[in-house]
Amino acid sequence: MGMKILPSSEVRDNMAQIIKSIAEEGASCFITQYGKAQAVMIGVDRFNELMSLVEDALDEKDELLALRLEEARREYKKKKGVKFEL
């Protein structure tokens, strides 16, 4: 998994190749304007992984929900179902 730092003009001129590289290699691309990083391009799979981590972290901040998730995970490992209501 690589990382590239490219000016916005190069991204604009080579968008298709950059997207292909990100999709195939799992690379990230920092996009700069006037020498300063302004944006990041990442693949959809990586984005979904990161969002899942964020959502899990936010959910587990709720202590009660965290306890219920922990119980559900234990039951899941035992191959049992748990009714989960919010």
Judge contact between 29 and 12, C-beta under 8 A.
Answer: no
Which CATH number among 3.40.50.410, 3.40.1620.10, 2.60.120.560, 3.40.630.10 corresponds to the domain 3-42?
3.40.1620.10
**Coil, strand, or helix at residue 41?**
strand
Q: Please tell me what DSSP assigns to residue 44.
A: H
Q: How far is CA 42 from CA 21, 39, 67, in A?
A: 10, 10, 33
The model carries a pTM of 0.62
Alpha-carbon distance of 36 to 57, in angstroms, equals 30
Domain with CATH 3.40.1620.10 in the chain: 3-42
Low-confidence ranges of the chain (pLDDT < 50): none
